[in-house]
């Protein structure tokens, strides 16, 4: 907290959406979906995603260095603009089941260029082979390792997209419960916060979202949290956590994506606990649009993230 009165600011970004957004949404709707009924389906989909991810090689200026975070594999991402003393702890998305090494590293690199920082990207274990609590355990271990290896919390920012945003909230909550240091602020891109799947947007925006569907969410939930008794556990559903003491939060989501209300619900609860929260709803964008570097909206979104972080860290461009 910065000592100023806490605020909840919700902004709906203006504009009809670029032609590239409309083209991407159309392409996503026309792309055949893949069934997700059992672990074999996840394995097949991973192979498909790996082939797609490999088609987008990293820019030569991006440096990726493997590191072992006390048993959790990870990698440092840096770019020529990276400065000492600026750190991003980036938890990638992928529905707790998938990993996109090039796409996630490229996104981390774009953040690093804007923030003139370097990023630590843990490769937490994936479901269904490693269901809850494997992923949050790995993220917690990686955060502890980071603090003892050159990432002071006062100079570190959390960033997470989708499942990674969920894990960012869980890692923050665990640190608070254990009375451990917190980062200066956190950026959450379309977090999934309630494993009971009762947010109104999951039904009211079903069909508008070209990426997420309710059957898909239910199948992925089964792989990540096989025991329904855990759905309300704060390490599964951070909406049910105590947000008292959280650092400032910056949340972005699509105005018609299925996780829209998840973002608003967690923002309301965090603000009620005295946390400073900024929320932006972007029109017509698909889930995790910030990772699509060719979208002008993605560039604008990262600019907004940069402004938020700079105002709370003092980092200048």
76 and 64 Cβ atoms separated by less than 8 Å: yes
Selection from 109-118, 212-221, 288-297 with the highest mean pLDDT: 109-118
Q: How far apart are CA 172 and CA 158, in angstroms?
A: 9
The helix (H) or strand (E) run that includes residue 75 is strand 72-78
Angle between helices 39-54 and 101-115 (to 10 degrees): 50
**With bands split at pLDDT 50, 70 and 90, how would you rate the model's confidence at 2?**
very low
Per-residue pLDDT at 215: 84
Residue of higher predicted confidence among 295 and 41:
295
- Going by C-alpha positions, the residue among 253, 252, 234 that lies closest to residue 244 is 234
- Which residues, at least 6 apart from 104, have a Cβ–Cβ distance to it below 8 Å? 90, 92, 93, 121, 291
**With bands split at pLDDT 50, 70 and 90, how would you rate the model's confidence at 200?**
confident
Q: Which range is least confidently modeled, 37-41, 230-234, 291-295?
A: 37-41
**With bands split at pLDDT 50, 70 and 90, how would you rate the model's confidence at 4?**
very low
Q: Tell me which residues are annotated as active site.
A: 162, 257, 287
> Is it the case that residue 35 has pLDDT exceeding 70?
no
The pLDDT of 197-205, averaged and rounded, is: 84
**In this structure, which long-range contacts are made by residues 229-237, counting pairs with CB atoms below 8 Å and at least 24 apart in sequence?**
230/132, 230/195, 231/195, 231/196, 232/195, 232/196, 234/170, 234/173, 235/132, 235/133, 235/136, 235/170, 235/173, 235/174, 236/132, 236/195, 237/193, 237/194, 237/195, 237/196
Q: How far apart are CA 270 and CA 74, in angstroms?
A: 29
> Is it the case that residue 118 has pLDDT exceeding 60?
yes
- Which residues, at least 6 apart from 138, have a Cβ–Cβ distance to it below 8 Å? 72, 122, 124, 125
Task: Write out the DSSP string of 79-135.
Answer: -TT--TT-EEEEE--STTT---HHHHHHHHHHHHHHHT-EEEEE----TTTS-TTHH
220 and 96 Cβ atoms separated by less than 8 Å: yes
**With bands split at pLDDT 50, 70 and 90, how would you rate the model's confidence at 19?**
confident
Note the maximum CA span of the chain: 51
Q: Which range is least confidently modeled, 14-23, 64-73, 274-283?
A: 14-23
Per-residue pLDDT at 1: 38
Per-residue pLDDT at 219: 87
pLDDT tens readout for residues 149-181: 999 999 999 999 999 999 999 999 999 999 999
The pLDDT of 238-248, averaged and rounded, is: 97
Per-residue pLDDT at 210: 77
> Is it the case that residue 15 has pLDDT exceeding 80?
no
> Is it the case that residue 234 has pLDDT exceeding 60?
yes
Percent of the chain with pLDDT over 70: 95
Per-residue pLDDT at 40: 66
pLDDT tens readout for residues 269-299: 999 999 999 999 999 898 999 999 999 999 9
The pLDDT of 179-189, averaged and rounded, is: 97
- Going by C-alpha positions, the residue among 31, 42, 156 that lies closest to residue 95 is 42
Q: What rounded mean pLDDT belongs to the chain? A: 91
> Is it the case that residue 205 has pLDDT exceeding 90?
no
The helix (H) or strand (E) run that includes residue 4 is none
The pLDDT of 9-18, averaged and rounded, is: 80
> Is it the case that residue 3 has pLDDT exceeding 80?
no
> Is it the case that residue 146 has pLDDT exceeding 50?
yes
Per-residue pLDDT at 34: 55
């Amino acid at each position: 907290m910065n000592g100023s009165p806490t605020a909840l600011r919700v902004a709906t970004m203006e504009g009809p959406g670029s032609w590239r957004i409309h083209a991407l949404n159309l392409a996503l709707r026309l792309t055949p979906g893949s069934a997700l009924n059992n672990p074999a389906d996840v394995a097949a989909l991973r192979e498909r995603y790996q082939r797609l991810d490999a088609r987008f090689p990293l820019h030569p200026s991006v440096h990726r260095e493997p590191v072992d975070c006390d048993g959790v594999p990870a990698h440092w991402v840096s770019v020529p603009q990276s400065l000492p003393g600026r750190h991003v702890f980036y938890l990638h998305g992928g529905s707790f089941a998938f990993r996109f090494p090039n796409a996630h590293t490229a996104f981390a690199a774009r953040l690093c260029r804007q923030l003139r920082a370097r990023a630590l990207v843990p490769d937490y274990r994936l479901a269904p082979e490693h269901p809850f609590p494997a992923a949050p355990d790995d993220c917690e271990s990686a955060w502890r390792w980071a603090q003892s290896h050159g990432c002071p919390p006062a100079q570190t920012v959390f960033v997470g997209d989708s499942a990674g945003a969920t894990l960012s909230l869980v890692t923050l909550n665990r640190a608070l419960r254990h009375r451990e240091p917190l980062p200066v602020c956190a950026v959450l891109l379309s977090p999934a916060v309630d494993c009971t799947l009762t947010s109104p947007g999951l039904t009211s925006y079903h069909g508008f979202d070209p990426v997420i569907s309710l059957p898909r969410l239910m199948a992925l939930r089964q792989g990540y949290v096989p025991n329904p008794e855990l759905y309300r556990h704060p390490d599964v559903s951070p909406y049910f956590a105590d947000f008292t003491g959280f650092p400032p939060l910056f949340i972005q989501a699509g105005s018609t994506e299925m996780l829209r209300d998840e973002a608003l619900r967690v923002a309301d609860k965090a603000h009620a606990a005295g946390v400073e929260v900024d929320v932006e709803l972007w029109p017509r964008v698909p889930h995790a649009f910030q990772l699509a570097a060719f979208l002008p909206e993605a560039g604008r979104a990262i600019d907004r993230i940069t402004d938020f972080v700079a105002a709370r860290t003092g980092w200048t461009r």
